[in-house]
Amino acid sequence: MIHSVRFTVVLDTNVVYPVIIRDILFWFAYYDLYTPKWSEHIFDEWKRVMIEKGVSEEDATKRISKANSAFPDALVKNYKGLIDHLILPDKDDRHVLAAAIKTNANLIVTNNIKDFPQDYLQSFSLNAKTADDFLTDIIDINQEQAVAAFKEMVLNKKNPKQDEFEVLNLLRNSGLNDTANYLHALL
């Protein structure tokens, strides 16, 4: 059950990079709907992707710094020793699993589900879900708080200013169809 800040989630790079997905994940965490975790490896990947997509190194560093400042307990440490002992289809994803194991996470949120076989994850008492599935679960269990988090996120959209329906469309365009439809139904 996803019902409290005790529910700990490791966020993979592919759900942290798209701005709108990161925004809603961070706003839900800010509203204590779950506890986010990430690692140095995850944020190094995030920085590399931002720079590849045209974000300056200075701005990329600022974004990472803001995330770490907003959630000072999110950075997982001392996980690197586990990496070489883990077996995943894509060995470059082992650091995500290592961080999840080290922090006793309940879940890995990733849009690369195929790279995190459920049987193997369950041997560590872990599961993986897509951002869309995770967010709809949170909304389902915490509708009022989720809507409040979404509305505050919309109010903070300043560049450019957007209304709820524009933000819902951004969510849909980023693959969060179920999340957007659920929120839309609750507004």
Domain boundaries 8-142, CATH class:
alpha beta
What mean pLDDT do residues 60-67 have? 96
Band of the pLDDT at 11, cuts 50, 70, 90? very high
Q: What is the pLDDT of residues 87-137, one digit of tens each?
A: 999 999 999 999 999 999 999 999 999 999 999 999 999 999 999 999 999
Residues 174 and 20: beta-carbon distance below 8 Å: yes
| CA angle (46, 174, 58) in 5-degree steps | 30
pLDDT given at position 4: 53
- % pLDDT > 70, the chain: 97
**The model's pTM:** 0.94
Q: What is the pLDDT of residues 37-52, one digit of tens each?
A: 999 999 999 999 999 9
Reading the block at residue 93, the tokens are: 């994803």
* Domain ranges within the chain, ordered by starting residue: 8-142
Q: How many CA atoms lie within 13 A of 171 on its CB side?
A: 26
Instruction: Report the alpha-carbon distance of residue 31 to residue 135 in Å, rounded.
Output: 13
Q: What is the pLDDT of residues 162-175, one digit of tens each?
A: 999 999 999 999 99
pLDDT given at position 115: 96
- % pLDDT > 90, the chain: 95
pLDDT given at position 3: 46
Contacts of residue 18, Cβ cutoff 8 Å, sequence gap at least 6: 174
How does the average pLDDT of the chain come out, rounded? 95
Band of the pLDDT at 2, cuts 50, 70, 90? very low
Pairing of strands 75-76, 107-109: unpaired
pLDDT given at position 1: 42
